[in-house]
């Protein structure tokens, strides 16, 4: 399974045991497992979200209804001012 790399794995595990100690090593392994689990959960949620947006039909406006050229607030319908950035000021 590991081929000729089993000794490298043993050396890395022995160094981890010496550096972190026998009490902290299970805690570190558990934290790494939780992190990997959360990462997989997040990526699967993003994939599901991406699939959901692809299957929704596009919003169509009835004929004669003007499409707003600037974004408006949903609460009162006032235009949203454009965002400004100071990054390009030099």
Is 9 a member of any domain?
no
Domain span at residue 48 reads: 22-52
pLDDT in tens, 35-69: 999 999 999 988 887 776 666 566 665 666 666 56
pLDDT in tens, 8-40: 989 998 999 999 998 999 999 999 999 999 999
Is 45 a member of any domain?
yes
Tell me if 74 sits within 8 A of 81, measured CB to CB: no
Is 64 a member of any domain?
no
Is 69 a member of any domain?
no
Is 59 a member of any domain?
no
Per DSSP, 45 falls in state H
- Other C-beta atoms closer than 10 Å to the C-beta of 20 total 14
Structurally, how many domains does the chain consist of? 1
| pTM for the full predicted model | 0.44
Is 37 a member of any domain?
yes
């Amino acid at each position: 399974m590991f081929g000729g790399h089993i000794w490298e794995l043993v050396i890395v595990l022995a160094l981890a045991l010496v550096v972190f100690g026998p009490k902290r090593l299970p805690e570190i392994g558990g934290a790494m497992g939780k992190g990997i689990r959360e990462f997989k959960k997040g990526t699967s949620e993003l994939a599901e979200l991406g699939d959901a947006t692809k299957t929704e039909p596009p919003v169509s406006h009835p004929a004669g209804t003007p499409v707003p050229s600037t974004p408006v607030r949903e609460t009162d319908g006032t235009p949203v001012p454009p965002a400004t950035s100071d990054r390009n000021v030099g």
